């Protein structure tokens, strides 16, 4: 069972989602770092994830493409800043491959996976470059979209 945990942002440029997932953190972490698994849960349905090219190591790049129901692709490129097996993933869109600066950095994501006796306390902290970026992300449906994706992630991780 997923339960919401109200974790307050620490700044006006931050959005936070915290849940207790009914799966061990090793499985939740794997669902984030195995491209075939990531494709199964990453986009809020009815969106899909047809492409997940990831290299989860510090400096490794990622390309994750979300596709809307009309067939429009939304590529998301970034670089991993920190990878701690089963504990933490940090990535940003401030850089693309090989540390090339992106044209418009939007966010840095800090994911933590804490053991809760066979369950996982999963926290996603999303730090935006500006307050306007944070507000735009919230208006895009951050809480609903990331919440739905987290439910999809939890369901998949529970089956692994």
State how far the Cα of 29 lies from the Cα of 42, in Å rounded to an integer: 13
CATH code, domain carrying 145: 3.30.530.20
pTM for the model stands at 0.92
What does the pLDDT read at residue 5? 44
pLDDT at 104: 93
Average pLDDT, the chain: 93
pLDDT tens for 38-71 read 999 999 999 999 999 999 999 999 999 999 999 9
Residues in the chain: 160
| Residue segments in the chain with a per-residue pLDDT below the cut of 70 | 1-9
Q: Number of folded domains in the chain?
A: 1
Q: Which long-range contacts (CB under 8 A, 24 or more apart) does 52-58 make?
A: 55/80, 56/32, 56/80, 56/83, 56/89, 57/83, 58/82, 58/83
Q: So what's the pLDDT on residue 1?
A: 39
Which residues form the domain of 133? Answer: 3-159
């Amino acid at each position: 069972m997923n339960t919401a945990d109200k974790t307050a942002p620490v700044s006006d440029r931050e959005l936070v989602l915290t849940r207790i997932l009914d799966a061990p953190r090793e499985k939740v972490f794997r669902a984030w770092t195995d491209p075939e698994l990531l494709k199964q849960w990453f986009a809020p349905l009815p969106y899909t994830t047809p492409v997940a090219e990831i290299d989860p190591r510090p400096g490794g790049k990622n390309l994750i493409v979300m596709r809307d129901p009309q067939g429009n692709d939304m590529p998301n490129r970034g670089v991993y800043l920190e990878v701690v097996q089963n504990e933490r993933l940090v990535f940003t869109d401030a850089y693309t491959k090989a540390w090339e600066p992106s044209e418009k950095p939007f966010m840095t994501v800090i994911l933590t996976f804490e053991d809760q006796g066979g369950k996982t306390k999963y926290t996603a902290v999303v730090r935006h470059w500006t307050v306007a970026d944070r507000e735009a992300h919230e208006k895009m449906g951050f809480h609903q979209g990331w919440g739905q994706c987290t439910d999809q992630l939890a369901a998949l991780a529970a089956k692994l």
